[in-house]
Amino acid sequence: MFSRVLVPTDFSEYAKKTILCLTRIPGIKEVVLQHVFDATQHTKHGWTHEAHIENVRIQLEEEKKFLEQLGFVVKVSVDVITSGNISTAILKKAECEKVTSIIIGSRGRGLVKGLMLGSVSADILRNGKKPLLIFRHSFAGELKGEVFNRSCPGIFTRILFPTDFSDPAQKALSSIKDIDGVGEVHILHVVTKGETHEEIESNVREATKRLEEIKTGLTSAGFKVKSHIRLGRPPDEIISLADAEDISLILMSSHGKGLLTELLIGSTTLGVAIHTNHPLLVIHTLGKPLN
């Protein structure tokens, strides 16, 4: 899944530290390092951007040398856009380069207090087709000492996988076996329906049975597994459990159950992406065959 990755960068401190985290993700062999230069706006000197673009190339070469010294094969790309937006350029690059996944950092809380997803990350989440790993603000901030050691080297040591037992969720589940370095897997189902106490208990029993089947499959594949059932609103319960269990990564399908299959991203996944401060790996599952 992470053999050839696209890493967009804007050279901010959080982006540089996200690049540093690449050294701790098992399986990466090739890195496509991209900067999208927005030339849709004129500068104070008119429409002249050559000096800025050359500076971008120099910075990319510096980051390329750093990653090459660590053993990666690195390709750099400066894409100048005169129309459209940054996220579209990133998604186009992902398709052209045939990368296996995209790794990007969230810009953090921004102008809306409590929201953890930047606009570019959100657009890629909604419109992308590749697996997308989003580093959160708290992990792209001061990555040193205890925070760095816990977050970057061990990003796959404690994975939380929420499931609604839909086909897309089952497709996303199969991707866990494609990730190197997975330690403990927490599987979660949130019961959202039940008019009476008896109906809720019935739903819990059914969910318990289905979680046990998933647990058995993962255990037989060599994973250490814990299962959880919660009652409530799925995004809230997913984030709450991730905090309580000190989860290193949330892995979700882009879609789940629901009548609105034409939506670009499922409401639960989007809700988690907007509000969590944990790294999030989204597996885009629409149109993907079920193995």
| pLDDT recorded at residue 13 | 76
Residue range 59-85, pLDDT digits in tens: 999 999 999 998 999 999 999 998 889
Report percent pLDDT > 90 for the chain: 52
Q: At what angle do helices 234-244 and 267-275 cross, to 10 degrees?
A: 40
Question: Are residues 5 and 98 in contact, defined by beta-carbon separation less than 8 angstroms?
Answer: no
Question: What's the whole-number mean pLDDT along residues 173-194?
Answer: 91
For residue 79, count other CB atoms closer than 10 A to its CB. Answer: 15
| pLDDT recorded at residue 261 | 42
- The listed CATH number (3.30.540.10, 3.40.50.620, 3.40.50.12780, 3.40.50.10890) that belongs to domain 1-152: 3.40.50.620
Question: Are residues 7 and 34 in contact, defined by beta-carbon separation less than 8 angstroms?
Answer: yes
Average pLDDT along the chain: 84
Identify the CATH homologous superfamily for domain 156-291.
HUPs (3.40.50.620)
Q: From the DSSP assignment, how many helices (H) and strands (E) are in the chain?
A: 9, 10
Residue range 85-119, pLDDT digits in tens: 999 999 999 999 999 999 998 754 343 444 446 77
Question: What's the whole-number mean pLDDT along residues 175-198?
Answer: 89
Highest-scoring range by mean pLDDT, 13-27, 30-44, 240-254: 240-254
| pLDDT recorded at residue 78 | 93
Q: Regarding predicted confidence, which is higher, 230 or 138?
A: 230
Evaluate whether 1-152 and 156-291 have a shared fold: yes
Residue range 130-183, pLDDT digits in tens: 999 998 755 444 555 554 454 465 789 999 999 999 999 999 999 998 888 899
| pLDDT recorded at residue 17 | 79
Helix runs in 10-144, H state only:
13-21, 50-69, 86-96, 119-127
Domains of the chain, residue spans = 1-152, 156-291
